[in-house]
Amino acid sequence: MPLCNWIICQRSNRWAAALRLAVERDAATLGVSYRLREVRTLGELTSELVRSPASLVALEVHDRNLSDVLAWLSAAERRFPQARCVALVDRALSADQQRVPPGGQESLRDVCDALREAGAWDVAQSPRRLQPMLELARRHAMATAADVTILAEHVSFTEHVWATLPWQGA
């Protein structure tokens, strides 16, 4: 059974708790096992991705970190090409379609578009609607497992380990 590593970067436990429930509820049908790691800052998130570069990342986005998350997503797409990132839109942003984030006049749709453009593969607006994220995680785990299988068939164990070292991709 393929493994999907999740790294969740959030201020509270709201998204992680909802994700754990959704994973437990759908574990039998998804065919993937999950490991969740929670962090609170983008610096911690980067450190975790260095250790596990093919993880699925879930980033909580709120009005105070929007610009930092956009910059982080843009850099992460180049630095961690095996990772897949999902934006978790805070309820304060998603509650009002015309909410004005600091420094701009964007609507929620514009914020979601900007997050996708910066590198988010999906944008979740409610912890009650996580099925698209779970499907993305399943596909990512299957693709990662297939990559490992293909790699294992064509290279020696030493070559495989050497290729996975973090400085090899730099």
- CATH code of residue 144: 3.40.50.2300
Q: Is residue 27 scored above 70 in pLDDT? A: no
Total structural domains in the chain? 1
Residue 33, domain extent: 3-169
Answer whether 0.75 is exceeded by the pTM.
no
Going from the C-alpha of 113 to that of each of 9, 53, 117, the distances in angstroms are: 20, 25, 6
Encoded tokens for 106: 């964007």
> pLDDT tens digit string along 64-120?
899 999 999 999 989 999 999 999 997 676 554 444 455 444 578 888 999 999 999
